[in-house]
Amino acid sequence: MENQHEFKNPFRPGAGHTPPYLAGRTKETQEFLRLLTQETILENMVLTGLRGVGKTVLLDAFKPEAIKDKWLWIGTDLSESASISENNISIRLLTDLSVVTSNIVIEKSEAQKIGFASETESIEYTLNFHTLKNIYDNTPGLVSDQLKNLLEVVWECLSMQKPKGLIFAYDEAQNLADHTAKDQYPLSILLDVFQSIQKKGIPFMLVLTGLPTLFPKLVEARTFAERMFRVVFLNRLSTVESKDAILKPIEDTNCPVKLTDDSVDEIVKLSDGYPYFIQFICREVYDAFVQKISVGKEPSIPVEEIVRKLDTDFFAGRWARATDRQRALLYVIARLKNCELEFAVHEIVDLSKEILEKPFSSSHVNQMLSSLSNAGIVYKNRYGKYSFAVPLLGQFIQRQEIETIKWHGA
């Protein structure tokens, strides 16, 4: 018998929230499945793209695929603190590893072989965090030597369960960084360690996701990263995929909301195919439609209200954090025809001469773009041009009061 449940608003805007229907992403998933067929790991994955494009939820969707294919999976969100020091990244790896190793029991003789366990004790050891940490601490050499040895030991123990390999999945990996001034190189160490153990045939694979700054950062730390990673750039959804994302969640016969083709087209246009915006707009549309229907009115899409809400909920916080001069710069960028694609320093300088009383010099623009890049607002692509790291930011800036910008910019 059909369950006459009350149908709730299915849309889920929010970082990392699993969508009611994951639209598109078949090519990207196939690419991931291809990497799973590697016996010797030659390619790791970087999954990159703008904020809200669906990196986190796609990474989540990869996990069951990998497990079905007999891979083990560990990983987390890389908060900034994980990358501050070499010690932090080691602890991070040990902690994550212990999740899949802690039920492994090692005999005393084996424990001694790998340089652990005292002569007098006659107990069994499980490969829990504590044991891992002991092995790590008892290995002589640099942090990278300690980690390499630890990973080899772990694989020796894990391989008895005959998995195909182990995936280290790290989200928000653009937070990884070396700190030359403090003589701390956690990012370089991570790359060195994985390159080395992969060369030895150990099937440990990195899957890193992050903003478009991620891959350039990896290559800057170690040039071999260029060959070590297969970069998959997540784009916005196509029109057909966008329609799937909008319609599939409300296909259920119990769903009170039906959308006309025109309404769907309108949502596709407003969202420009960006998954976060699709979820956001659809959630608003759904509620608005339910209200109108309940009072017997013909529902329509409240475009203005939605745009205003999106501005306050999504963009305003980022805008508020920018300085007056940064806003003036962003305002100039938003006036460039190609601002939603990419823009060059000289284009900004030229236009600023036309529209600002106090124009920008190119060194000033370079300097400001680099701080905006650290703030996650823009990023530099490999050809030295810049793009917004936040989708549809240009349109938002164009909606802002021009008076205030002139006032600050002039």
Ligand X SMILES: Nc1ncnc2c1ncn2[C@@H]1O[C@H](COP(=O)(O)OP(=O)(O)O)[C@@H](O)[C@H]1O
Indicate whether 198 belongs to the interface with Mg ion (CB under 5 A): no
Pick one of Mg ion, ligand X, none as the site partner of residue 25 (Cβ within 5 to 8 A by kind). ligand X
Least distance to Mg ion, CB of residue 62, Å:
13
Least distance to ligand X, CB of residue 114, Å:
38
Indicate whether 213 belongs to the interface with Mg ion (CB under 5 A): no
* From 54-62, 71-79, 94-102, 131-139, span contacting Mg ion (CB under 5 A): 54-62
As a whole number of angstroms, the distance between CA 342 and CA 240 comes to 25
Q: Which residue has the tokens 């013909």?
A: 298
Out of 9, 44, 48, 56, which residue is the one contacting Mg ion (CB under 5 A)?
Answer: 56
Q: Residue ranges of the alpha helices (H) in 37-142?
A: 55-68, 86-101, 108-113, 129-138
Comparing CB distances to Mg ion, the nearer of 57 and 336 is 57
Least distance to Mg ion, CB of residue 122, Å:
48
* From 49-57, 150-158, 176-184, 240-248, span contacting Mg ion (CB under 5 A): 49-57
Which chain residues interact with ligand X by CB under 6 A?
12-17, 19, 22-25, 49, 51-57, 245, 275-276, 278-279
- CA dihedral of 398, 352, 383, 239, whole degrees rounded to 10: 20
Indicate whether 175 belongs to the interface with Mg ion (CB under 5 A): no
Cα separation values, 24 from 17, 236, 240, 382, Å: 17, 10, 9, 27
Pick one of ligand X, Mg ion, none as the site partner of residue 391 (Cβ within 5 to 8 A by kind). none
Least distance to ligand X, CB of residue 121, Å:
47
249: exposed, middle or buried (Cβ count in 10 Å: 0-12, 13-18, 19+):
buried
Beta-bridge partners for 355 = none
Angle at CA of residue 307, ends 395 and 355, nearest 5°:
30
Pick one of Mg ion, ligand X, none as the site partner of residue 17 (Cβ within 5 to 8 A by kind). ligand X
As a whole number of angstroms, the distance between CA 220 and CA 49 comes to 19
Indicate whether 174 belongs to the interface with Mg ion (CB under 5 A): no
Cα separation values, 93 from 87, 88, 151, 203, 353, Å: 10, 9, 9, 16, 51
Least distance to ligand X, CB of residue 283, Å:
9
Least distance to ligand X, CB of residue 9, Å:
13
